[in-house]
């Protein structure tokens, strides 16, 4: 373990430099290409765009999808992101939050959502937010490097979003929640992979699907308070034991590593790919540890009796940041041999 931590510590400075360089590259792209468009949207806002929407576009999905996830895919293939790929990946990020809101806030019916994604050119937008979606979805359709994967994941995401409506039902079973969670995350990350032109390597589809499942579970870990408030059934809100969630998370994390090394890429690239992605995993581990402390305090894990402060893990706190660094440093990124 000491050798592992030392090795990870030595690898951390070059990793941070690489990540910061890629973040700056995407920030420059956003400033040059997206900010003028957003300024126009602010001028023409009809009330359908909220401050949170601008944040998701500029600082969250539109920023992190290309700069973190997309760049990790480029690490695997070992050549830089092309301009069409960056445009497609950024547009995927732009529409991510909007697409979720079609189901959650705008409550478009399935036929409307199917039409706007299947034939956006013929869809008559009745709000600015729909106009933005159509523009960037058309850009994805035009610029994405893997059109077959894009079509497949579009259909799968629509199906998983429909299935996720079941999470509003108190009678949904734990295993069904798990399947819906994995599908929603798995197909979403495969959707982001479709922006890139290099062919899927043998084993990559399954590895990326499970990476997405892990990330979706991570989202639910951080969103447990909000899901509880909205009576959404997730693996967190539907269990009485955080240990059960920790077990699922750890099993899925280990499976992502195993499946990643099964991809037909050189092991060195796979190790670098995992190093780029696993800071997200370490953050989730910090949040899980906080939830475990709350379970120990109350004697059981029941989000309904816990406060917002107890359930929401603030990763901007220095203590939580350093906890995530410690989790990252003890992560074993090496290939497991039989």
Write down the pTM of the prediction.
Answer: 0.94
Alpha carbon separation from 258 to 138, 244, 251, 262, 329 (Å, rounded): 36, 21, 11, 7, 19
Residue 255: other Cβ atoms inside 10 A: 16
Ordered DSSP codes for 243-303: HHHHHHHHHHHHHHHHHHHTSSS-HHHHHHHHHHHHHHHHHHHHHHHHHHHHHHHHSS--G
Q: Which of 115, 146, 116 is nearest to 129 (CA)?
A: 116
Contact status, residue 98 vs residue 127, Cβ threshold 8 Å: no
Find the radius of gyration of the CA atoms of the chain: 20
Contact status, residue 292 vs residue 315, Cβ threshold 8 Å: no
Q: What share of the chain is helix, strand, coil (3-state, %, to 5)?
A: 75, 0, 25
Exposure string for 144-163, b = 16+ CB within 10 A, e = fewer: bbbeebbebbbebbbebbee
Per-residue pLDDT tens, the chain, 338 aa: give them.
Answer: 777 788 888 888 888 889 899 999 999 999 999 999 999 999 999 888 888 889 999 889 999 999 999 999 999 999 999 999 999 999 999 999 998 888 766 667 888 888 899 889 888 888 899 999 999 999 999 999 999 999 999 999 999 988 998 999 989 999 999 999 999 999 999 999 999 999 999 999 999 999 999 999 999 999 999 999 999 999 999 988 999 999 999 999 999 999 999 999 999 999 999 999 999 999 999 999 999 999 999 999 999 999 999 999 999 999 999 999 999 999 988 877 54
Q: How far apart are CA 184 and CA 92, in angstroms?
A: 16
- Chain position carrying tokens 């190093």: 275
Helix (H, G, I), strand (E, B) or coil at 314: coil
Contact status, residue 330 vs residue 8, Cβ threshold 8 Å: yes
Q: Record the tokens describing residue 26, joined without a space.
A: 């995407």
- Chain position carrying tokens 């973040």: 23
Q: Which of 254, 255, 216 is nearest to 236 (CA)?
A: 216
Alpha carbon separation from 136 to 73, 129, 130, 168 (Å, rounded): 21, 11, 10, 30
- Burial (CB < 10 A; 0-12, 13-18, 19+), residue 57, is buried
Res 284: pLDDT: 97
Q: How far apart are CA 151 and CA 144, in angstroms?
A: 10
Res 15: pLDDT: 86
Ordered DSSP codes for 88-103: HHHHHHHHHHHHHHHH
Res 172: pLDDT: 94
Res 239: pLDDT: 85
Alpha helices in 144-262 (DSSP H): 147-164, 174-193, 204-222, 224-229, 242-261
């Amino acid at each position: 373990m000491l050798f592992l931590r030392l090795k990870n510590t030595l690898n951390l400075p070059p990793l941070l430099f690489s990540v910061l360089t890629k973040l700056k590259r995407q920030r420059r792209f956003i400033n040059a290409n997206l900010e003028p468009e957003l300024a126009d949207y602010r001028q023409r806002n009809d009330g359908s765009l909220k401050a949170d929407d601008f944040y998701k576009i500029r600082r969250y999905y539109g920023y992190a999808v290309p700069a973190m996830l997309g760049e990790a895919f480029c690490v695997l293939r070992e050549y830089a992101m092309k301009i069409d790929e960056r445009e497609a990946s950024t547009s995927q990020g732009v529409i991510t939050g909007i697409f979720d809101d079609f189901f959650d806030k705008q409550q478009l019916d399935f036929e409307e959502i199917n039409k706007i994604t299947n034939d956006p050119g013929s869809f008559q937008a009745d709000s600015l937010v729909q106009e933005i979606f159509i523009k960037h979805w058309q850009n994805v359709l035009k610029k994405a490097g893997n059109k077959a994967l894009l079509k497949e994941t579009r259909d799968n995401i629509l199906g998983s979003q429909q299935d996720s409506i079941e999470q509003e039902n108190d009678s949904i079973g734990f295993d069904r929640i798990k399947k819906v969670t994995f599908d929603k995350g798995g197909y979403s990350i495969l959707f982001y992979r479709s922006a890139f032109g290099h062919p899927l390597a043998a084993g990559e589809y399954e590895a990326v699907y499970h990476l997405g499942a892990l990330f979706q579970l991570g989202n639910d870990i951080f969103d447990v308070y909000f899901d509880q408030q909205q009576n959404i059934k997730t693996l967190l809100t539907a269990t009485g034991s955080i240990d059960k969630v920790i077990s699922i998370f750890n099993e899925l994390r280990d499976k992502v590593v195993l499946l990643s090394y099964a991809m037909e890429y050189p092991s060195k690239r796979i190790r670098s790919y995992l190093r780029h992605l696993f800071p997200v995993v370490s953050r989730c581990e910090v949040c899980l540890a906080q939830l475990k402390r709350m379970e120990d305090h109350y004697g059981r894990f029941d989000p309904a009796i816990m406060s917002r402060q107890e359930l929401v893990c603030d990763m901007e706190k220095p203590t939580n940041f350093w906890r995530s660094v410690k989790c990252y440093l003890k992560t074993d990124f090496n290939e497991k041999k039989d």
